[in-house]
Amino acid sequence: MIKVVKFGGSSLASATQFAKVGNIIRADESRKYVVPSAPGKRNSKDTKVTDMLYQCYALAEEDKDFHIQLKKIKERYDSIINGLALKLSLEEEFKVIETNFKNKAGKDYAASRGEYLNGIVMANYLGYEFIDSAEVIFFDENGNFMPEKTDEVLSARLQKTERAVIPGFYGATEEGKVVTFSRGGSDITGSIVAKAVRADLYENWTDVSGFLVADPRIIDDPKTIKVITYRELRELSYMGATVLHEDAIFPVRKEGIPINIRNTNAPEDEGTLIVESTCRQPEYTITGVAGKKGFVAINVDKDMMNSEIGFCRKVLQAFEEHGISIEHMPSGIDTMTVFVHQEEFEGKEQQVLSSIHKLADPDTIDLESDLALIAVVGRGMRSTRGTAGRIFSALAHSNVNVKMIDQGSSELNIIIGVKNSDFEKAVKAIYDIFVETQI
């Protein structure tokens, strides 16, 4: 059994957190490959080492003095090293970093040092081998990740290594220029490593006990999702439920390797298991509910629209021409509605409307702003009758006016449009009907 374990920044923010991580790793023989993030926040007012590095490098780039900032970063590591009583000095490493900063080695190089140094500390603490990700994770000249080359080199390297620490977040081009993933990208590294060693499980340790059925800012103490499929996760993450980097599912998904989200501060909790498919029915009919505010609905009407070939295409072309992406598109016989992000749309509103007029010649166009979209997601909906009915009666009881309904043919989700001001009330009503009352 091989497990790849990734630890997020808050799990590695201090010596105390490192000690918890050490206990977790030592508690299970199969936790052989470790992917650390950079030290994160120790409390809500603290700054992540990654952000400290970006700030420090911004000074270097302007040829300003940055040694105080760099010293503060070194202090973060020294307090971990001393707290764990390790015989390790990062003096030489910091000299190299200082020189490279002066030579303007790049923003990505700067940010990557957070994970790089934490990897060195972690390897020393665990007695595992340290592997610099710049040697095993590859990007092309344009900064795109190279999956095949990486898999080839990384799996060959890890085959020879019983236990290793591979820092998250970065890799390098074939010429050795360091490139990072987007923020939160250590999750992706963990997934790449899991694929390379054909792991049985990818454990992603963070500071929450998994995905929650609903947003805790709206629902008090919501239930945790025990098992979720990749597709359900995509739907919920897209609607704002973020625990894992979106791109982290792709490398493991193809290999059928499950991801287990776990909590470093509550290791006894089972967390959430993310799988390709499962015969385990969710505890409730719905797996989760998530949503976002800030949409505009553009209603386009034209008599006999349904028989006019190409009408929808022309309307959509107007959005495409102005670079606006479309969220949802419910339609009727003589009407179609396009949902877009309000922020994206506002600045280009009049241009888009005039393009629609020019291209599609509709009878009327009207706009409704300040709308929210809510996704009710669940593989269990397929086999349960009356889910939609229950949602809408719950919303009606809560006095929420439903503006739009869209159910995908996969029956995996139902999207509901409501007014921004009804958003929280609607999420609560849906959560209550499926989770609290459980009828």
**In the complex, which residues of this chain contact ligand ASP (CB under 6 A)?**
9, 37-38, 48, 50, 114, 168-169, 183-187
- The distance of closest approach from Cβ of residue 33 to ligand ASP in the complex, given in angstroms and rounded to an integer, is 16
For ligand ASP, give the closer residue by CB, 193 or 338. 193
Q: Of the candidates 144, 156, 93, 153, which has an alpha carbon nearest to the alpha carbon of residue 123? A: 93
For ligand ASP, give the closer residue by CB, 37 or 413. 37
The pair of three-digit structure tokens given for residue 373, joined into one six-digit string: 């979209």
- The distance of closest approach from Cβ of residue 170 to ligand ASP in the complex, given in angstroms and rounded to an integer, is 9
- The distance of closest approach from Cβ of residue 49 to ligand ASP in the complex, given in angstroms and rounded to an integer, is 7
For ligand ASP, give the closer residue by CB, 244 or 400. 244
- The distance of closest approach from Cβ of residue 77 to ligand ASP in the complex, given in angstroms and rounded to an integer, is 14
- The distance of closest approach from Cβ of residue 435 to ligand ASP in the complex, given in angstroms and rounded to an integer, is 31
Given a contact cutoff of 8 angstroms between Cβ atoms, the answer to whether 81 and 49 are in contact is no
- The distance of closest approach from Cβ of residue 106 to ligand ASP in the complex, given in angstroms and rounded to an integer, is 16
- The distance of closest approach from Cβ of residue 183 to ligand ASP in the complex, given in angstroms and rounded to an integer, is 4
Element spanning 73, H or E: helix 67-83
DSSP, res 161: -
Q: Please tell me the distance from the alpha carbon of residue 335 to that of residue 322, in angstroms, as a whole number.
A: 22
For ligand ASP, give the closer residue by CB, 180 or 260. 180
- The distance of closest approach from Cβ of residue 296 to ligand ASP in the complex, given in angstroms and rounded to an integer, is 31
DSSP β-bridge partners for residue 171 = 179
For ligand ASP, give the closer residue by CB, 143 or 256. 143
- The distance of closest approach from Cβ of residue 260 to ligand ASP in the complex, given in angstroms and rounded to an integer, is 17
For ligand ASP, give the closer residue by CB, 119 or 378. 119
For ligand ASP, give the closer residue by CB, 31 or 48. 48
Element spanning 394, H or E: helix 387-397
Helix, strand, or coil (residue 135): helix
For ligand ASP, give the closer residue by CB, 167 or 362. 167
Report in angstroms the alpha-carbon separations of 389 from 226, 236, 287, 395, 423: 25, 21, 17, 10, 19
Q: Please tell me the distance from the alpha carbon of residue 323 to that of residue 95, in angstroms, as a whole number.
A: 46
- The distance of closest approach from Cβ of residue 192 to ligand ASP in the complex, given in angstroms and rounded to an integer, is 13
Q: Where are the alpha helices (DSSP H) in 89-229?
A: 91-102, 107-126, 147-159, 186-196
For ligand ASP, give the closer residue by CB, 9 or 378. 9
Burial of 259 (0-12, 13-18, 19+ CB in 10 A): buried
For ligand ASP, give the closer residue by CB, 125 or 169. 169
Q: Of the candidates 379, 403, 392, which has an alpha carbon nearest to the alpha carbon of residue 429? A: 392
Q: Please tell me the distance from the alpha carbon of residue 156 to that of residue 150, in angstroms, as a whole number.
A: 10
- The distance of closest approach from Cβ of residue 418 to ligand ASP in the complex, given in angstroms and rounded to an integer, is 33
Report in angstroms the alpha-carbon separations of 90 from 14, 94, 149, 261, 308: 16, 6, 31, 31, 70
Biggest CA–CA distance in the chain, Å, is 79
Instruction: Name the residue whose CB lies closest to ligand ASP.
Output: 186
DSSP string, 17-28: HHHHHHHHHHT-
For ligand ASP, give the closer residue by CB, 42 or 341. 42
179 Cβ contact list (under 8 Å, min separation 6): 108, 139, 143, 170, 171, 172, 173
Q: Please tell me the distance from the alpha carbon of residue 326 to that of residue 323, in angstroms, as a whole number.
A: 10
